[in-house]
Amino acid sequence: MKSLFLVLAMGIIFIQTGLADASIPTSDLEGAKDSPYLGRYDGSKIVAYQQKSFDSFILPLAPLMKISGKFDSSNNIYFFPQKYKKLEGSHTRLVYLLPEGRTSLEVSKNYEKEITAKGGKTLFRCDGAACGGDPSRASSGGGGEMSLGMFMEPENDVKSYNEAFSNGYCALTNRITQQHYFSAELPQKDVFISVLTYRSTGGSFCKAFNNRTIAVVDVFQIKKLEQKMVVIKADKMKKDIDHSGKIALYGIFFDTDKAIIKDSSKPTMDEIAKMLKQEPKRKILVVGHTDNAASFAYNQKLSEKRAQAVVQMLIQKYGISANRLHAVGASYSCPSASNATEEGKAKNRRVVLVGEKN
């Protein structure tokens, strides 16, 4: 009986191994196209493609460093860049399979040369283990150290637009060697680019890409988020605070990584002040919330500074008494949605007014 079970198990593994594999493409992935800001290496094919009209992105400008006591969703030791630039705007990710025989370094240098020819400049470059994290992993793996590929896009995000063991999935999740990375800027277009290249080593799965070079190109153009939110009126704020003790506001805007309130926040700030003036005995907590794009400690300080900025504006511009207001930073401790998607992250970036005892 035991031998029969082993035979069946081996048969299942054999079938899975046969079906779970990439194939060498003869054309680009349907619907995919090159970025207008950067071409491709001659003879390469797009095997994965994703375009977001608005996204947030952490661009590494220094090696990743181990964050003690923190783990990612796959139980890997968490890593975060020593220096980075947080971007918001349109984001295109292109994953290319390079022609046979092309090395990872050769491809990386060609991309860098192309960016220089366009008037761009390299912001940071690293190779192999010098990038930080595990240089033998792309975007997949658990129970070890996070890799640069995982930091740029974890496996769950890869799965969101690639079927398991498709060409795109295999290109982004195989074991790797010969890792090279650089980030760059095209200042005349307000465009930032990162290029991660590596040699896929694969194994029993995704073996069609074994010993082939992959180029992962992220193109990011900074732009402002379109204001689509309806301004919440003072009466609605009062009603929600009285009923549920709080109200979440999405009409207070800040530049990325800053705590200076933008002019576009005036309609919402006017309504907060109106509510407080209508009820001169009401006291509130002003609580800042963030997504989880950076560390908890970093976001805690940022969220508190933003809450303090709201309080100070209410005091200085609208004449609200300081003893009626209290600023609190919650970091990403109280998400209103999953941080796994950009839509969820947008919902988590908010200011919440909480009723306080008089």
Q: How far is CA 250 from CA 52, 107, 318, in A?
A: 21, 43, 20
**Number of alpha helices (DSSP H) and beta strands (DSSP E) in the chain:** 9, 12
pLDDT category of residue 256 using cuts at 50, 70 and 90? confident
Average pLDDT over residues 41-66: 95
Task: Please report the pLDDT score of residue 225 as a whole number.
Answer: 66
Q: Give the CA diameter of the chain.
A: 82
Who has greater pLDDT, 6 or 342? 342
At 175, the amino acid letter reads: R
Task: Please report the pLDDT score of residue 276 as a whole number.
Answer: 96
Instruction: List own/partner pairs for 80-85 with CB under 8 A and 24 or more apart.
Output: 80/151, 80/294, 80/295, 81/132, 81/151, 83/124, 84/58, 84/59, 84/60, 85/58, 85/59, 85/61, 85/123, 85/192
What is the rounded distance in angstroms from the CA atom of residue 269 to the CA atom of residue 322?
A: 16
Tokens in use for 333?
């401790």
pTM given for the model? 0.65
What is the rounded distance in angstroms from the CA atom of residue 315 to the CA atom of residue 203?
A: 63
Contact (Cβ atoms closer than 8 angstroms) between residue 157 and residue 145: no
What is the rounded distance in angstroms from the CA atom of residue 95 to the CA atom of residue 194?
A: 12
Question: Which CATH fold would you assign to the domain 234-356?
Answer: 60s Ribosomal Protein L30; Chain: A; (3.30.1330)
Average pLDDT, rounded, for the chain: 90
Nearest-CA neighbor of 97 among 145, 175, 57, 45?
A: 45
What is the rounded distance in angstroms from the CA atom of residue 316 to the CA atom of residue 309?
A: 10
What 3-state class would DSSP assign to 71?
Answer: strand
Judged by average pLDDT, the poorest of 130-139, 247-256, 284-293, 327-336 is 247-256
Domain chopping of the chain, boundaries: 21-222, 234-356
Tell me what percent of the residues of the chain surpass a pLDDT of 70. Answer: 92
Tell me what percent of the residues of the chain surpass a pLDDT of 90. Answer: 76
Q: Which residues pair with 197 in a beta bridge?
A: 180, 215
